[in-house]
Structure 1
Amino acid sequence: MVKNRKMKVIINSVFTILLALITLTACKKDKKTDTTAVDTGNGGATGLIISPTDPGIAVSQGFFLDSWQAKTFTKPATQNAAKPTASSITVTADFAQVVSKVSKNLFGNNMNPFTGQYTDAGLVKNITNLSPNIIRAPGGSLSDVYFYDLPAGGKPADVPAQLLKADGSVDPTSGYWSGMVTDSWSISLSNYYSLLQKTNSTGIITVNYGYARYGLSDNPVETAAHYAAQWVRNDKGRTQLWEVGNENFGNWEAGYRIDVSKNKDGQPEILTGQLYGSHFKVFADSMRKAASDIGTTIKIGIVLTDGDDQNNSVGVQNWNSGVLSAAGSSPDFFVVHNYYTPFNQNSTPDVILATPSAVTASMLSWVNNSVQKAGVAQKPIAMDEWNIFASGSRQQVSYVNGVHAVLVLGELIKNQVSMACRWDLANGGSDGNDHGLFTFKQDGTANFTPRPAFYYLYYFQKYFGDRMISSAVTGSTDIVSYASSFTSGEAGVTLVNKSGTDQAVSINFKNYYTGSSYYYYTLKGGTDNGSYSGKVTVNNNGPAGDVGGPAGYATLAANSSGTSGGITVNVPARGVVFLVCDKK
């Protein structure tokens, strides 16, 4: 009995000691977490902070992050700016919570071959400043009628004189495009390569898939695939990213419908996803062999739809399921395009600015579900055309489209997409229905004048770090925040105000010791054309003419305020603030 009592006492004592140690350890952990509180006096952390840890690379990003680069923030010239006196809206960014690394391939753009030779010095300088890093060619739907090595007006002997419309009738306006042109209004392939070199960019090239459909040879698929492979050889390793065809699911694309009486390999009149997927494998095999022959490696993308295609009224139904089941593991990445707003709707700013979050999430969900249902492996995603379809009030050339661009980039990073190319550098549409980042044949305006969206894209990349960190907004559903960190140690926040009234916003950083100052650029629209001004001001500096923004955008002084008393800025109605805070 005595021995048992002693044993119980010993056991109870050990248990008490262990419990005390566990409690002490838990308290220490809680204390460390609690010290990430924010000092509202300077907007930074107090006490101990947690160091950030990079998340793993998502499959949707994959090799597009291979070229990731650390960024060092360079303090700009500054001018003192007064702070708002009060704010009921707060953004809290957590320096320790890394959402994703930011790929330089996210800021790409498109060119098309009918807007000049792109040799204008001012244009080249602006594109260099914009730093798209990647420029897609030869130009959307024209890719499916493009022959890179033929002179102007040339076409192969094995193509029809005219192509078919979606309804099966002959299209008298159809024709072919050539890469060896010398006309001033059309860019040559050599000048495309030259533009890449001058602007420190790389390319992504869309090869002509339509030729595999409308070609008149005995085996048009092999002929077209070999032609694409020959371009890879002639490219001589300059381009690592390639894709087969453009939006081939659509009834507007060359090759969607062919004249079966002229076809010699038994293809159906209307393209199917299954057929394109099987043809893709032929292209990919030929192109990879060509790359191997010249001692280089390439990545090849396959065309998918961005949304439910089961009841597609303007193209191939069940495209993704057919493509993926036939192509299997052959593609290196998936290609989607997205024009966000309802087609040709005279959309309001509220409608336009609501689309980036909802539409991006829906698109990625659709692609992921398509892949899972097909039973194939997920691949990196490239959204290498994007813009808005809104029209009727000059939406596409307005500053609102610039605000939309900021939201799209933020949502892509947040959803771990690392390759995108906006459509396009210049276009030449009429009545404001023009996706071009620069003007082209716009009455009263010099060609290649930067439009408002240019400035939003420029400042986003300049003031967004190399990692997105988590952020949250309290006090408003109209303010959207995207926070970032620089490898050099600074933290930043991009703020978007989707509402029609100015909003004062306070910013707090967790797990970050703020320095003495913060710097920011405020972009807002002009007063012309109602809700859709064609002008933008940057820190109250506007354009000299009727289009775009300040000519001296690259050297404009940033607004600067002290962190003492808190970090607070005014975000104008439908405006954007790009802010970076000093490190301690």
Structure 2
Amino acid sequence: MKKHFLKTGMAALVALALLQSCKKDSTPKGGGDNNGGGTDNGGSTVIIPPNNPDLAATQGFFLDGWQAKTFATPVSPKIVAKPAAGSVTATVDLSQVITKVSKNLFGNNTNPFMGQYVDQPVLMQQLTDLSPNILRFPGGSLSDIYFWNGSNKAPDDAPAQLLNYAGTSASAGYWYGNNTANWTFTLDNYYKVLQQTNSTGLITVNYGYARYGTSDKPAEAAAHLAADWVRYDKGRTKYWEIGNENYGNWEAGYRINLATNKDGQPAILTGALYGIHFKIFADSIRKAAAEVGNTGIKIGMVTTEADEKDNTSTIIQGWNSGAMTTSAASPDYYVVHNYYTPYMQNSSPEVILATPQPATANMMSWVKTSLQNAGLTQKPVALDEWNIFATGSKQMVSNIAGLHAVMVLGELLKNQYSMASRWDLANAWDNGDDHGMFNNSMNSSNTELGAPAWNARPAFYYMYFFQKYFGDRMVSSSVTGSPDIISYGSSFQSGQAGVVLVNRSSLDRAVTVNIKNFAAGANYYYYTLSGGTDNVPFSRKVYVNGAGPAGDSGGPAAYKTIAANSAAIAGGIIVTVPARGSVFLVAEGKK
């Protein structure tokens, strides 16, 4: 970090000297100063142009094809009065670019227990509007018991019974990619959803079968099954990964029956063995990809998100060290998962909203350290499952979960992750302990009562407006006057500046936005999102510029046509960030 700062600082000094020698009318488009409150001072202050940082190794090829972003000025905004300025100031500095914004950070997880939802127009339209860009499939832990080419029968060498972590035998409960029953989701329908929503696929292949398979060479058999999927895929999917959370004792294949194993594997999986198997899978998959012309295929490896010593009861010790050593340079990227809050605790808003900043940074630090200790080169890091584990008060379906999602997205950008996919699109109601972004109306026995089919939860609206009002580059931002206000700054290639503000406290806060190194235009536009008065403090509702849901949960049906709030930049950019709410703001640049 120090080295990067010195490099940036030197570039800024050189740029400043050059600009001071230029004529006033040679200021590049988008330059200018807002004099601390968003107003242009006539160009008397030199504007430092933005730096152009190198692409982080933790992002890599996931930013291939990155595109600049043009902000569409609202056609009929609602003119609103500014609040009185308070003691809180958010400062956004357009000269300090942190990273380009990857569209792959807004992903989500689909799964085979959502039903054949491709024929559900309400959900499909909302999913298209959300623009997740990445949709992971088929799971989740069921990836390790999923046979993509089956309909209702597993391969002969897949046992009917599997062992759990304690050695108890139970029905394997396999899932199949060609099961056309209405309660599940076929592989072909997954491909249709990708096409209809303009999303990129991320497929998790069955690693567990390499452990519990009863053939002479179970790892090779499982790798061959995965390779056949790649052949069937015919180049439609670039991103693949081997297994899901295989370091955990909850995963199929953690413990196997030694009486039926024929290649001398240990009863309990190790990271080192997974790394050896990873190379077998990767070699088979790459060969298959070459056969179908998928030369850009990328394969991810399962990695722990924190030191395994922090969890000695359920996590395989030394997982990262062993897996990274034996897989060596074979992985193209590394996969982590994080559910942020303490497991199955009735966490408060304060606990939940305190997790995104430290957990996201610590997770990246752990993967970097693991690779350094293994003597390996840094490669992209993907967070392809994330949410909260808080239960008991409907936290997962609440406005607080939406606010948490905003912070996670901001912290992922700050820490330069390559890709992220939230878990998940739809699950089961379970009295509000439901990770689903949408009400799963296909699960009639466990659906949200009183909510329409595929009703969107608050997190949908927060993630929709984040992507809509965040630019193509994240820039430096900071807050003074309150530790409860968090800011994430951005810039648009088309000349605007933006900021996302989060208020973690239970009181409304007036925030003045100071945009440095920016030639301000006439107006700023913003959306304000906040919860309702129901189920305090975990409201199941979200209001967008005052518009809320027609029913007991979710948000406004007309979210795409709600007028943006607007005020003049002259006199300062000041907004009220509601208690446990967020503001998504864009300021015009000088034309």
TM norm. shorter chain > 0.5: yes
1:213 alignment partner, one of 208, 211, 214: 211
Residue of structure 2 equivalent to 1:402 = 402
Unmatched runs of 5 consecutive residues or more in structure 1: 1-24
State the alpha-carbon separation in 2 of the partners of residues 312 and 300 from structure 1. 28
Residue of structure 2 equivalent to 1:39 = 35
Does the CA-based 8 Å contact 2:33-2:39 persist in structure 1?
no
Shift of 1:514: 0.8
State the alpha-carbon separation in 2 of the partners of residues 92 and 138 from structure 1. 42
Does the CA-based 8 Å contact 1:520-1:580 persist in structure 2?
yes
2:480 alignment partner, one of 474, 478, 486: 474
Residue of structure 2 equivalent to 1:171 = 170
The answer to whether the aligner puts 1:154 opposite 2:153 as a matched pair is yes
Does the CA-based 8 Å contact 1:437-1:454 persist in structure 2?
yes
State the alpha-carbon separation in 2 of the partners of residues 428 and 223 from structure 1. 34
Which letter does structure 1 place at the counterpart of 2:502? Answer: V
State the alpha-carbon separation in 2 of the partners of residues 569 and 331 from structure 1. 46
- CA deviations over 1:173-223 (Å, ceiling 9, x no partner): x31000011111111111100000000001000000000000011100000
State the alpha-carbon separation in 2 of the partners of residues 317 and 102 from structure 1. 35
Residue of structure 2 equivalent to 1:509 = 515
State the alpha-carbon separation in 1 of the partners of residues 338 and 367 from structure 2. 12
Per the normalisation by structure 1, the TM-score is: 0.93
State the alpha-carbon separation in 2 of the partners of residues 508 and 405 from structure 1. 25
Quick one: percent identity of the two aligned structures?
60
The answer to whether the aligner puts 1:419 opposite 2:425 as a matched pair is no
Does the CA-based 8 Å contact 1:43-1:508 persist in structure 2?
no
Give the 3-state SS of the residue equivalent to 2:163 in structure 1. coil
Which letter does structure 1 place at the counterpart of 2:358? Answer: A
Q: Which aligned pairs between 1:113-262 and structure 2 lie closer than 5 A?
A: 113-119=112-118, 120-151=120-151, 153-172=152-171, 174-262=172-260
Shift of 1:30: 11
Q: Which aligned pairs between 1:40-119 and structure 2 lie closer than 5 A?
A: 40=36, 42-44=38-40, 46=43, 47-76=45-74, 77-119=76-118
- CA deviations over 1:244-277 (Å, ceiling 9, x no partner): 0000001111100000100011100000000000
Change beyond 3 A, Cα 1:207–1:32: farther
Residue of structure 1 equivalent to 2:26 = none
State the alpha-carbon separation in 2 of the partners of residues 345 and 30 from structure 1. 56
Higher Rg of the two aligned structures:
1
Change beyond 3 A, Cα 1:26–1:334: closer
- CA deviations over 1:138-189 (Å, ceiling 9, x no partner): 11001001111111x22111111111111001124x3100001111111111
Which letter does structure 2 place at the counterpart of 1:103? Answer: S
Give the 3-state SS of the residue equivalent to 2:221 in structure 1. helix
Per the normalisation by structure 2, the TM-score is: 0.92
Shift of 1:443: 1.8
Residue of structure 1 equivalent to 2:263 = 265
Change beyond 3 A, Cα 1:73–1:28: closer
Shift of 1:444: 2.1
Give the 3-state SS of the residue equivalent to 1:195 in structure 2. helix
Shift of 1:502: 0.3
- CA deviations over 1:209-245 (Å, ceiling 9, x no partner): 0000000111000000011001001001000000000
Give the 3-state SS of the residue equivalent to 2:150 in structure 1. strand
Give the 3-state SS of the residue equivalent to 2:355 in structure 1. helix
Shift of 1:429: 3.8
Unmatched runs of 5 consecutive residues or more in structure 2: 1-13, 23-30, 441-446
The answer to whether the aligner puts 1:583 opposite 2:582 as a matched pair is no
Shift of 1:48: 2.4
State the alpha-carbon separation in 1 of the partners of residues 376 and 37 from structure 2. 53
Change beyond 3 A, Cα 1:41–1:340: closer
Shift of 1:28: 5.6
Change beyond 3 A, Cα 1:27–1:239: closer
Shift of 1:36: 7.3
State the alpha-carbon separation in 2 of the partners of residues 219 and 44 from structure 1. 70
Residue of structure 1 equivalent to 2:566 = 560
- CA deviations over 1:444-466 (Å, ceiling 9, x no partner): 22231100000000000000000
Change beyond 3 A, Cα 1:207–1:27: closer
Q: Which aligned pairs between 1:441-452 and structure 2 lie closer than 5 A?
A: 441-452=447-458
Number of matched pairs: 557
Does the CA-based 8 Å contact 1:168-1:257 persist in structure 2?
yes
Does the CA-based 8 Å contact 1:40-1:565 persist in structure 2?
no
State the alpha-carbon separation in 1 of the partners of residues 559 and 114 from structure 2. 24
State the alpha-carbon separation in 1 of the partners of residues 193 and 166 from structure 2. 39
Residue of structure 2 equivalent to 1:338 = 338
Which letter does structure 2 place at the counterpart of 1:68? Answer: W
State the alpha-carbon separation in 1 of the partners of residues 81 and 348 from structure 2. 33
Detail structure 1 runs of 4+ shifted over 6 Å in the superposition. 29-33
